[in-house]
Amino acid sequence: MALPGGVMVQFKPEWSDTQIQAWADGQGLQLVHTLSLPGQWRLVATETGTAALALANQIHASGDVVSARPNWWRQMAHR
């Protein structure tokens, strides 16, 4: 597994796109795009490596969001 950068953040279901953008702006974070997962998931831009892990932990611990996790990359091999 590797950390290519980015944090996957799940926002509260009642939050609007405007509220999500305001939260990101208030944190000084850039929303990259909406993820095609059930719920209010967005990808937040970060540096690669442990910076993504540290930011994911910080966002998750804040209690502002439902969930935050680093964008783990896993190598897959077909059998």
pLDDT of residue 79: 62
Does 3 or 42 have the greater pLDDT score? Answer: 42
Q: Which pLDDT tens digit goes with each residue over 32-70?
A: 999 999 999 999 999 988 899 999 999 999 999 999 999
- CA quadruple 24, 27, 29, 35: dihedral, nearest 10: -40
Amino acid symbol at 17: D
Tokens 């950390």 sit on residue = 3
Supply the pTM of this predicted model. Answer: 0.86
Residue 74 has pLDDT above 80, yes or no: no
> How far, in whole angstroms, is CA 39 from its chain's centroid?
13
Structure tokens at 14: 């009642």
pLDDT tens digits, one per residue of 18-32? 999 999 999 999 999
Asked if 59 and 47 count as a contact pair (C-beta separation under 8 A), the reply is no
